[in-house]
Chain A
Amino acid sequence: MDSLHIEKLNVSIGEKSILNDFTLTVPKGEVHALMGPNGTGKSTLAKVLAGHQDYHTDSGSVLLDGKEILGKEPDEISHAGLFLAFQYPLEIPGVSIANFIRAAIESRLGAEESLDAPAYYRRLYEKMDLLQIDRKFTSRSLNEGFSGGEKKRAEILQMAMLEPTYCILDETDSGLDIDALKVVSNGVNFMRSNERGSLIITHYQRLLDYIVPDVVHVMWDGRIVKSGGKGLALELEEKGYDWVKDELAVACS
């Protein structure tokens, strides 16, 4: 029950199938890494989990602590506890980080509840300090004119503020230099808890030097073809994805 459980998920765009019987379970308290070459369906998986309208789910099931989230609206899925850190965070002109996160938190409150503004700002500044985000950032429009590293830090800040039960980090390391990578990783590690499960989608092994996963999965052609411990990531780094491809070919023949 206490897991993000994806069962035989089949997803297509038009005629092209992207995910083929994709199955994966991320239990609460664990960090899983999902690795694979470009175009294998990793980002599609992230968007489908978050309820993006452009993808058609042919069959399958996604249970969040036992509750089906497939077919739900993106905001319902968010309220259910799933957070997606975007590969390419969108710019929201004129809306400051502080107001945006506040609106997101307020959307989770009941009709009679109201946000304690001073407490909110205290907590926001605390998390910003942790992520080494300048306080001047709170008044800047979300992601507008941000550098790649700033955008990713803003994603982790939102994650820290919304405290989801399951986090999907889609290529969070892309475009980051080592310093930024360390800051972002610290933020993610700080979020590690027995009450939270995370799926880190990445192309490269280097993020996993800083966020050590419990399990590593290798994705190929829309499904997981190999799972193992953190050593698997290093093996991949060393041998390249062709190694998986070759192994797969042997297995199939």
Chain B
Amino acid sequence: MSATETIDLDFEKGNFHYDTEYDYDAGTGLSEATIDYISGVKEEDSWVRDFRMKGLRTFTDKPMPTHWATRDLDNIDFNKIRYYLSKGQTPSRTWEEVPEDVKNTFERLGIPEQERKFLAGVEAQFDSEAAYSRMKDDLAKEGVIFVGSTEGLREHPEIFRRWFGKVIPTSDNKFSALNSAVFSGGSFIYVPPGVKVKQPLQAYFRINAENFGQFERTLIIADEGSEVTYMEGCTAPKFETSTLHSAVVELVALKGAKIQYITVQNWSNNVFNLVTKRARAEEEAEVKWIDCNIGSRLTMKYPGVILKGRKARGEVLSIALAGDGQHQDTGAKMIHAADETSSNIIAKSISVGTGRSSYRGIVNVPRNLKGCKNNTECDALLINSNSRTDTYPAITVRGDGNSVQHEASVSKVSAEQIFYMRQRGLSEAQAMSLSVNGFVNDLVREFPMEYSVELKRLIEMEMEGSVG
């Protein structure tokens, strides 16, 4: 518990909102007209509009996946959602140029301060579009591109189009189709061969309006031998009605590249957070997803890596904390598609009160491959007698010299452990929070310091309310 700079992702800190006048508003409900509107204000090429229209058709055709997923999905009313809200399509390069109400929001969340302290670049998205986007000048000189996806599509179509929708096809699932239809915002990053971006690039996603749906689309391409770390934070105020966040994130790590993608999701508990994230790792490339899910009403998110090149490596480290009334349905997919590829999944979940955490995983090693390895560990901790946890992995192994191991366990903090700690003077809540932090400790150690400190504090706050 050293005095490290922390990133504020306080629940209460995110729970505020300023009334905002929007210059662009696609209204409520989803139709071809909505797409025409979005595509129109963004002045998109016809191929993008066609891509969106195909997305809409796929979304309409695909049933809700409630044959395996929770029925809570049926409570989303797509006709009541506002699909596009913005003050304009071009982000400011200095905080002074950002409109006052939007700037106040990000200042209160501490973003400009963090940017000064340890970030190489920041993009701050307010509802549908980035309000601010800036990267350090020296990175620009090296040819690094870090802009909003709207800008990326406009300014760098030659790189964007080549990879866009290639890792996650529109028809992957109902929500990737929805995103393909109405996407707006998100980051576009390109790191040229051999460039190693030392400090992280950060995006901050803020939902400000009620009944709003945020559909950012992020595409990160790390060219041969390059390295980049991207972090995203998310908050929203608590509204009476539910809000939808449905992003698509595609990562491409070319030969020998390394991408680390860190998420700390702290949505308010009226947000449906239905996100598709997948990476493609070429020869000897490494992709690591670090995924912390603390907020939202329902999160469904299974970051994946397609291990496309020999000796590619994929990793998912995730922590989910399902508080009262929350459902964290998270997991990982590792698709081995080349020899000697390896993958590692470590998932820890904590269920508090009526919270439910579920792990779903896919590990696939096909027939023609040699020397592939996967290791999966999922550990669940149950706090109260009405808490719930599920584990649903699917593992297929064929081929020669491939090995896969999966271990899962469920445990609870025992009454005797709590008594022991209280005998040393800790209160019940302190004892509980110490146990929970102990449970996630070995995993949190893998995280960048700024995040691990904050995460511990968030867990402590959650546990305070869970006892008594």
Contacts and interface: CB of A to CB of B under 8 A. Distances in A.
- Touching in the complex, A and B, CB below 8 A? yes
Interface in A78-113: 78-79, 83-84, 86, 89-95, 99-101, 103-104, 107-108
B438 interface: yes
A75 interface: yes
Interface in B395-436: 414-417, 419-428, 430, 434-435
Interface residues of B, number: 24
Contacts of B434: 92, 95, 99-100, 103
Contact of A93 (B421, B425, B430, B439): B439
B437 interface: yes
Contact of B438 (A89, A92, A108): A92
Nearest to B418: A74
Interface string B20-33: 00000000000000
B442 interface: yes
B422 A73 contact: yes
B223 to A, nearest CB: 39
Nearest to A144: B438
A99 B420 CA distance: 15
Interface in A45-74: 50-53, 73-74
B439 A90 contact: no
A50 B424 contact: no
Nearest to A141: B438
B422 A75 contact: yes
A158 B427 CA distance: 17
Contacts of A94: 437-442
A74 B422 contact: yes
Contact of A78 (B1, B416, B425): B425
A117 B66 CA distance: 53
A94 B435 CA distance: 8
Given A93-B439, A94-B438, A95-B438, A52 B425 contact: no
A162 interface: yes
Interface in A1-56: 50-53
A89 B419 CA distance: 11
A90 B417 contact: yes
A97 B205 CA distance: 39
Contacts of A90: 414, 416-417, 420
Contacts of B435: 92-93, 95
B426 A103 contact: yes
A26 B441 CA distance: 41
A162 B425 contact: yes
B327 to A, nearest CB: 25
A95 B437 contact: yes
B69 to A, nearest CB: 31
A93 B416 CA distance: 14
A74 B1 CA distance: 26
Contacts of B437: 94-95
A158 B435 CA distance: 18
B289 to A, nearest CB: 22
Which of B417, B425, B430 gathers the greatest number of chain A CB atoms within 10 Å?
B425
A64 to B, nearest CB: 14
B377 to A, nearest CB: 14
B425 A75 contact: yes
Contacts of A95: 434-435, 437-438, 441
A107 B438 contact: no
A107 B442 contact: no
B430 A103 contact: yes
B427 A75 contact: yes
A127 to B, nearest CB: 15
Contact of A86 (B420, B425, B430, B439): B420
A107 B428 CA distance: 11
A144 B289 CA distance: 29
Contacts of A162: 424-425
Given A93-B439, A94-B442, A104 B426 contact: yes
Given A95-B438, A103-B434, A79 B425 contact: yes
Contacts of A93: 435, 438-439
A52 B421 CA distance: 12
Nearest to A143: B420
A143 B149 CA distance: 51
Nearest to B414: A90
A107 B427 contact: yes
Given A94-B438, A94-B440, A141-B438, A107 B423 contact: no
A52 B419 contact: yes
Contacts of A99: 1, 434
14 contacts: A50-B419, A53-B419, A73-B422, A78-B422, A86-B420, A90-B420, A91-B417, A93-B435, A93-B439, A94-B437, A94-B438, A94-B442, A107-B430, A162-B425
Given A94-B439, A94-B440, A95-B434, 7 more contacts: A51-B422, A86-B420, A89-B420, A92-B438, A93-B438, A107-B424, A107-B427
* Interface pairs A-B: 9 shortest CB-CB: A94-B438, A74-B422, A94-B441, A95-B438, A78-B425, A104-B424, A90-B420, A75-B422, A107-B425
